[in-house]
Amino acid sequence: MFSTQTVIQKSGIQFGTSGARGLVTQFTPEVCAAFTHAFVASLKRSYPVKRMAIAIDNRPSSPAIAQACIAALMQRGIESVYYGVIPTPALAYSAMQDGIPCIMVTGSHIPFDRNGLKFYTPDGEITKADEQAILIVNQEFTSLADLPSLSVNTDAAKQYAERYTSLFDVDLLQGKRIGIYEHSSAGRDIYSQLFSSLGAEVISLERSDEFVPIDTEAVSEVDKAKAKTWSKQYHLDAIFSTDGDGDRPLVADENGEWLRGDILGVLCAQAMQMQGLAVPVSCNTVIETIPQFTKVSRTKIGSPYVIAEFAELAKQYQAISGFEANGGYLLGSDVEINGKILKALPTRDAVLPFIMLLSTAKNSGITALVNALPARYTHSDRIQNFATAKSLVIMEMGKSDPDSLISQVGFNDASVEDVDVTDGLRLTLSNQTIFHLRPSGNAPELRCYAEASSFEQAQGIVNQVLSQIQQM
C-alpha cells in the first residue's frame, strides 16, 4: 500500500503559480496516482465524484502521465473521459458545463524535460487552499496495474470552438489574413478552423513535431524576427500563437510586433466593457488610467490569486474579469457579447482576448488601438538555472535596503519612491520607472519585470538588472 502524502512529499514535485510542476522523471506512475487519489479525496468533501475529464498537451511525457491518472481513477471506480490534446481552457470549459472535475497534464511553457498537473473542481480552477488540501490528504492506494489505452473524445474541442464562433457573425473576419504560429501548441488543430469559420484567411506557420517551450512573457529574439518576416511575407493582419497548453496568448499586430500580454488584456477588457478587474501586481500601470474600469485590484502573481479576488469584486460589480502579464484572460462573470451570453470561464484563456481584439480592430487595425493607450511600456526576461536560494537573498537585500540594491544594479541617478512586496520585490523609482524581481514559483529562475515611458528604456532596465545580478 502507498500513502498519497508520503509519495507526494518524496517526489519533490511542488505547486507553483499554476499547478504542480516537476521533472518528467519525478512523475512516476505512483506519483501521478498519488496526486489523482489525493485530488479525488479532497473533492469528496464538497462534491460527488463519479466522472472526471482528462486532457494533455503535446509533450512526449504527457500521454503516460494521463494513463497513470486514469488508472488511479479506475481504482476508485470513477469514470474518466479523455479529450486528448486540447487547450487547458477547452478542458476546463467543457468540464464546467458538465459539472465534473478535471485534470490537465501540462507543464505549460517550461522545457519538455519537465511536466505538470493542473486541477479543476466542477466550479473551475482550484485555489491555493485546495492545493493544500491535496497535499495534506493521507489516502492509501495500491500499486497500479497495467496502464489503460487512451481513446480520444472530441466533444470538448468542438465545444470550445463553438463558445466563440456562436458569438459573432460568420463574416466577422472577412478579408483578414491571420497567421497561426502553431509550433507544438495544444490548440493548434482548433484555431485554424475557428478563425476560418469566422471568415478569415488562415496561414499555418511553423508546426513542430518536437515540443517548443514558448514563454509569452519572455519572447525570444528569434520569435520576434520571425513575426516581422511572416507579417511582410504573407501580408498578415495579425499573428496568433499560444504557450504549450493554449492558455496564454501570443499576439502580433499587422506589423509583426508582439503585443505585451497585459496590453492585450486591457484592450479585451475595454471591448467587453468590464467594470471590475483583478490583475497581478506585475501588470502595466496603464490599467489604472482607463476610466472605464471602476475597480482594479492588484494580486500576487498566479491565476489562483486572480480568481480568489473575483469573489470580492462580485460583491459590487456585475462585469468582472482578470488577466495576467502573460496574456492569459480569466472571465469571472457571465457577460453579454452581441446580444448573446458568454459564460464565465475562471481560468486563463488565449482565444478570448484575441477574438475580442480582432472584433474591435476590424476597421482600425491593431496598431491604432495600442497607440491610443497611454505610453507606458513593459518588458520582462529571466535568468534560467538560477538557484532559488540566491534569488531569496537578493529579495531580502532589496526589502531591507532598497537604495543599496538599486545602486548595486546600476541605478545611481535615482532613488526608491515605493517598495511593493505583494509578490517578490517591486520598486518604483524617482524617475518614474519600475523594476520588479521575482523568483519563479516552479523552476530555478529569477524573473525581472520593468516599466518605463518607452519600450527601449524598459528593455534596457531588464537587461541591466539581470546582467548586474549575475555578476553580484
Going through 193-339 in order, the beta strands assigned E by DSSP cover: 201-207, 238-242, 249-252, 276-280, 295-299, 320-323, 329-331, 335-337
Of the listed 42, 61, 94, 108, which one is catalytic? 108
Radius of gyration of the chain (CA): 22
196 is catalytic: no
- Rounded (5°) CA angle 372-374-379: 110
| Cell of residue 369, nine digits | 488601438
Distance CA 77, CA 73 (A): 6
Give the number of other CB atoms < 10 A from CB of residue 146: 7
Distance CA 258, CA 136 (A): 42
202: left (phi over 0), alpha (psi -120 to 50) or beta: beta
The contacts of residue 16 (CB under 8 Å, 6+ apart) are 302, 440, 441, 442, 443
Distance CA 203, CA 197 (A): 14
The contacts of residue 59 (CB under 8 Å, 6+ apart) are 24, 105, 106, 107, 112, 115, 211, 244
CB 178 within 8 A of CB 155: no
CB 444 within 8 A of CB 21: no
**What's the full length of the chain, in residues?**
472
Q: Which residues are catalytic?
A: 108
